[in-house]
């Protein structure tokens, strides 16, 4: 894939500008820097290979050449809700899961921002809000998808089982076509971001729903409870010892209880 091929693949979509790189440290870092120049809404940074891709909590995101999708989408403040930025995690996860569903797969969303196939992580979402004082300048929505088998990181460097789309589909996947499907879904879900339907759909696709899970907060002890759903703001609802507790996105880790 190159700049021209990417633009041809995405032709007709209501996107902003597109920047393509054969190799880049991080698409999110590039998009954050670009945001200062006020690019159009839905501008994209796409890289064939990332050498310093980032996941949550500063963890590395593995993006080898020719095997994965690494894209960051710039969202203007007029299209997001500053008080409900946690919904942007769901926006990316719903877009990816919908594109995978259209391929005949059965993805699930591990709250808040991972997409699973058969219990293995195949995609991660990293939204980063950029502020100027109290003014939201924009949001960079990073999405990484393990497409080919070469994109699956070694087991010793991940903290949750990883997989790829081709393993589940059992055939090669055209990365450009998958990206187009993800962006079409993202554009449509962005229109519904502030609706009950958005959260309800996110909720129905949750991995481990009605199952016992363990939540590991950044400080304090782990909490075990039954995952019952989401709040209207996209936060996690657990039944813990007969009472409901709500957990915000933050830097928590969610695991099923085995």
Other C-beta atoms closer than 10 Å to the C-beta of 229 total: 18
Task: Identify the sign of the CA torsion 109, 114, 119, 121.
Answer: positive
Q: Options 2.30.30.100, 3.40.250.10, 1.10.260.40, 3.40.50.9100; which CATH number does 212-256 get?
A: 2.30.30.100
Q: Which of 94, 90, 146, 88 is nearest to 120 (CA)?
A: 146
| pLDDT digits 0-9 by tens, 70-100 | 999 999 998 988 888 889 999 999 999 999 9
Which structure tokens are listed for 3? 């700049």
Q: Indicate where the chain has its CATH 2.30.30.100 domain(s).
A: 212-256
- Res 6: pLDDT: 94
Q: Which of 234, 63, 230 is nearest to 142 (CA)?
A: 63
Which structure tokens are listed for 215? 């939540």
Q: Which of 1-10, 192-201, 244-253 has the lowest mean pLDDT?
A: 244-253
Q: Indicate where the chain has its CATH 3.30.930.10 domain(s).
A: 3-204
Which residues, 6+ apart, have CB-to-CB distance to 38 below 8 Å?
none
Which structure tokens are listed for 79? 């299209």
- Res 96: pLDDT: 98
- Please provide residue 94's backbone torsions phi and psi, each rounded to the nearest 5 degrees: -65, -40
- Hey, which of 58-67, 83-92, 146-155, 203-212 has the most confident mean pLDDT? 203-212
Which residues, 6+ apart, have CB-to-CB distance to 67 below 8 Å?
146, 147, 148, 149, 150, 151, 164
Other C-beta atoms closer than 10 Å to the C-beta of 223 total: 16
| CB environment 88-111: b (16+ within 10 A), e (fewer) | bbbbbbbbbbbbbeeeeeebbbbb
Q: From the centroid of its chain, how far is CA 47?
A: 16
pLDDT-based confidence at residue 106 (cuts at 50, 70, 90): very high
Give the CATH fold of the 3-204 domain.
BirA Bifunctional Protein; domain 2 (3.30.930)
| pLDDT digits 0-9 by tens, 160-211 | 899 999 999 989 999 999 999 999 999 999 999 989 999 999 999 999 999 9
For the sheet containing 212-216, what is the strand order?
243-247, 236-240, 223-230, 212-216, 253-256
- Res 222: pLDDT: 87
């Amino acid at each position: 894939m190159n700049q021209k091929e990417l633009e041809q693949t995405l032709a007709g979509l209501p996107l902003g500008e597109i920047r393509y790189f054969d190799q880049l440290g991080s698409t999110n870092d590039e998009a954050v820097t670009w945001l200062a120049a006020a690019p159009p809404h839905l501008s994209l940074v796409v890289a064939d290979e990332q050498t310093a891709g980032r996941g949550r909590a500063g963890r590395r995101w593995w993006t080898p050449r020719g095997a994965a999708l690494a894209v960051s989408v710039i969202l203007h403040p007029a299209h997001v809700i500053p008080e409900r930025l946690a919904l942007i995690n769901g926006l990316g996860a719903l877009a990816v899961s919908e594109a995978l569903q259209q391929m005949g797969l059965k993805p699930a969303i591990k709250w808040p921002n991972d997409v699973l196939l058969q219990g293995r992580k195949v995609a991660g979402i990293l939204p980063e809000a950029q502020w100027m004082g109290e003014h939201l300048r924009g949001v960079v929505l990073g999405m990484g998808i393990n497409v080919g088998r070469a994109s699956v990181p070694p087991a010793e460097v991940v903290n949750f089982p990883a997989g790829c789309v081709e393993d589940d589909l059992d055939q090669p996947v055209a990365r450009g076509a998958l990206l187009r499907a993800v962006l079409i879904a993202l554009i449509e879900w962005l229109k519904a971001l502030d609706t009950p339907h958005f959260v309800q759909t996110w909720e129905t696709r949750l991995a481990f729903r009605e199952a016992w899970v363990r939540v590991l907060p950044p400080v304090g002890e782990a909490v075990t409870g039954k995952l019952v759903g989401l709040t209207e703001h996209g936060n996690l609802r657990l039944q813990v010892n007969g009472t409901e507790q709500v957990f915000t996105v933050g830097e928590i880790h969610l695991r099923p209880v085995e």
